A and B are shown apart, each in its own frame.
Chain A
Amino acid sequence: MAKEKILRHSGLVRLVHWSIALSTFTLIITGMFQLPLARRYFIDQLPGLFWTGDYSITVLVHYIAAAILLSAVSVHVVYHVIRKEYNLIPRKGDMKESYQIIKSMFGFCEEPKSDKYLAEQRLAYAYMAFSFLLILVTGVLKVIKNFPTMQFSETFLSWVTNIHNLATFMIIFGIFAHLAAFAIKANWPLLPSMFTGKVDLEYAKHRHSIWCIKGVGQKEKK
């Protein structure tokens, strides 16, 4: 018998998520190859990787992926602001609540009731949003500085470069943390939601009870 499901992520949200994931992955790879690595370490000699040694290819792919990332991020922001969906914005007490959730994993206490997202997810979101803001702003400045008519001071450009590089590492760290979260069994039921859009109703009722009550309440009103 199929379990009852509840819709967690709409098609558009899933599209935005995967566009960001793929373009970010591409940006990290092609970003790394903006550094003189490929030929020094013979990476371009590996089968199928000749392009890594050609800056004119990697920089173009970096630009294309940047256009996709920028678009996906702007869709994300505009869509949720217009719909007034602020489920991922950190709330007061999220630090304490995250600590409780971690304690509960070791059986020290009950897991607190959660809304659509856990307190940790909201904090992680804030971290990622900040890192992406840094990378996007500095990335756009890097694009602008390449225009023939543009000239900036050296000090300004080295800030831009260093923040772009730092934000890269912040994002890589964030992605590791994001993926590591799914090594924890308690989070497994969330996995299908980013593919099919749905999660098990039973799971949601149990763990995201605040969200469920809201949703169910609305359905009953109709």
Chain B
Amino acid sequence: MSNISRRSFIKRTVAAGAASGVILSGVNKIAGASETGSNKVGTLIDLTKCDGCKGQKVPACVTACKSKNESRFPEPVENIQNYWPQKKYENWSDKRDLTKRLTPYNWTFVQNVKVDGKEVSVPRRCMHCDNPPCVNLCPFSAMEQTPEGTTQVNPNVCFGGAKCRDVCPWGIPARQAGVGLYLKVAPKLAGGGVMYKCDLCYDRIKNNQSPACVEACPKGAISYGEKVELRKVAYEKAKDINGYVYGDKENGGTSTFYISPVPFEKIHKELEKQKATQPNPEAPGFPTMPVEVGNFLDTANGMASAVLLAPVATAFAAGITAYKTMKGKGEE
């Protein structure tokens, strides 16, 4: 650790400590204060290096992800039932080769846009957010944030309600029907399958290896490492090239930092146009890049201090009332 990073590390640790102390007073938006130590990992995706594997049919990172995770891809039952009372179900098992969007069989893909005359390729996948609404709001606690700060779905618990996708600003998790726990309960009436998404190759990083896509990239466009460090590098490099960072301020902070020579607002606009031309423009799986998009829980958290403090205040008032009525009227 260099001197600077140690100093910023200490600052952060102090901030994290202070943050847990100020939670009750409602000040809980200290950016990136969730690091409690250096065990938090992250990735840096350098859009000045990534060329979308030009000339190749499928980018190397996408191929690497697919082959690494193949054994975990869903194998649905043959006759999948509709999501009663709806007349549909989500099935990607006959489109396993799709590589131009997120599916249960494709956890990362590369978007290509042209902005200000520059061609930019953007590898996309789960951002591994600091305060992930997908994990926080899963009604079955089927999602987990690991101590390293990555997020993952537990396919044995997931019921496929897709709430995680609804509350994710990028709609990342992808659903496959005909697999998972719901089949054992009331497959016609409730549940919808299992959600799939990038887990930052958790088994590999636990093994001190970097994620498969990082290793596969011929351009070294994706770096993996200590989150605090990568965040610093991202801002330094962005400053050098007069560029921009995405992922630090979005959704209340994530552990994925994009560096781009062109503003993300413009990339976002282009992606919106492309999304509109998708076979089903409404469908998730083709994320855009809204800059500084908020966290689903911002409003709720802003109010949470009231939830926790109200009972203390009213208890106090009740105490006084009880005391007064007792002194005043005697027993009643």
Contact string against B for A residues 44-78, beta-carbon threshold 8 Å, 1 for contact and 0 otherwise? 00000000000110011001101110111111111
How many angstroms from the CA of A74 to the CA of B309 in the assembled complex?
11
Residue from the list A42, A73, A146, A161 in contact with B311, Cβ < 8 A? A73
A10 x B306 contact (CB < 8 A): no
How many angstroms from the CA of A147 to the CA of B140 in the assembled complex?
19
A137 proximal to B (CB < 8 A): no
- Inter-chain CB contacts under 8 Å: number: 145
Residue from the list A71, A80, A150 in contact with B310, Cβ < 8 A? A71
Smallest beta-carbon distance A132→chain B, Å: 12
B137 proximal to A (CB < 8 A): yes
B-binding segment of A32-40, A110-118, A179-187, A188-196: A32-40
A157 proximal to B (CB < 8 A): yes
**Count of chain B residues with a beta carbon within 8 Å of a chain A beta carbon:** 61
Residue from the list A7, A35, A66, A82 in contact with B307, Cβ < 8 A? A66
Q: Please judge, given known A-B contacts A63-B304, A83-B322, whether A74 and B136 are in contact too, CB under 8 Å.
A: no
Contact string against A for B residues 289-332, beta-carbon threshold 8 Å, 1 for contact and 0 otherwise? 00000011101110110111011111111110111011000111
Give chain A interface residues in 134-167, CB to chain B under 8 Å.
140, 143-151, 154, 157-158, 160-162, 165
B173 proximal to A (CB < 8 A): no
Q: Please judge, given known A-B contacts A36-B161, A140-B308, whether A148 and B253 are in contact too, CB under 8 Å.
A: yes
Smallest beta-carbon distance B325→chain A, Å: 8
Residues of A within 8 A of B144 (CB): 154
Residue from the list B34, B163, B303 in contact with A36, Cβ < 8 A? B163
A173 proximal to B (CB < 8 A): no
Chain B residue, CB-CB nearest to A148: B131
Residues of B within 8 A of A7 (CB): 332
Chain B residue, CB-CB nearest to A42: B85
How many angstroms from the CA of A55 to the CA of B323 in the assembled complex?
42
A213 proximal to B (CB < 8 A): no
A83 x B311 contact (CB < 8 A): no
A82 x B304 contact (CB < 8 A): no
A161 x B141 contact (CB < 8 A): yes
B248 proximal to A (CB < 8 A): no
Chain A residue, CB-CB nearest to B140: A161
Chain B residue, CB-CB nearest to A139: B307
A83 x B19 contact (CB < 8 A): no
Smallest beta-carbon distance B81→chain A, Å: 13
B317 x A75 contact (CB < 8 A): yes
Give chain B interface residues in 45-87, CB to chain A under 8 Å.
83, 85-86
Smallest beta-carbon distance A83→chain B, Å: 5
Residues of A within 8 A of B29 (CB): 148
How many angstroms from the CA of A158 to the CA of B139 in the assembled complex?
9
Give chain B interface residues in 162-206, CB to chain A under 8 Å.
162-163, 166-167, 192
A60 x B304 contact (CB < 8 A): no
A12 proximal to B (CB < 8 A): yes
Q: Please judge, given known A-B contacts A36-B163, A40-B86, A71-B310, whether A146 and B317 are in contact too, CB under 8 Å.
A: no
Q: Please judge, given known A-B contacts A56-B299, A73-B311, whether A149 and B317 are in contact too, CB under 8 Å.
A: no
A79 x B321 contact (CB < 8 A): yes
Chain A residue, CB-CB nearest to B133: A146
The 3 A-B pairs of least Cβ separation, nearest first, read A36-B161, A82-B322, A75-B318
Q: Using CB atoms and an 8 Å cutoff, list the residues of chain B in contact with chain A.
A: 16, 19-20, 23, 28-30, 33-34, 83, 85-86, 130-131, 136-137, 139-141, 144-145, 147, 154, 157, 161-163, 166-167, 192, 252-253, 295-297, 299-301, 303-304, 306-308, 310-319, 321-323, 325-326, 330-332
Would you mind naming 16 contact pairs between A and B with Cβ atoms under 8 Å apart? A12-B318, A34-B137, A36-B139, A55-B166, A55-B167, A56-B296, A63-B307, A71-B314, A73-B311, A74-B312, A78-B322, A79-B318, A140-B308, A148-B30, A150-B23, A165-B139
9 more A-B contacts (CB under 8 A) besides A75-B318, A77-B315?
A36-B139, A79-B318, A79-B321, A80-B322, A143-B304, A143-B308, A148-B301, A157-B141, A161-B140
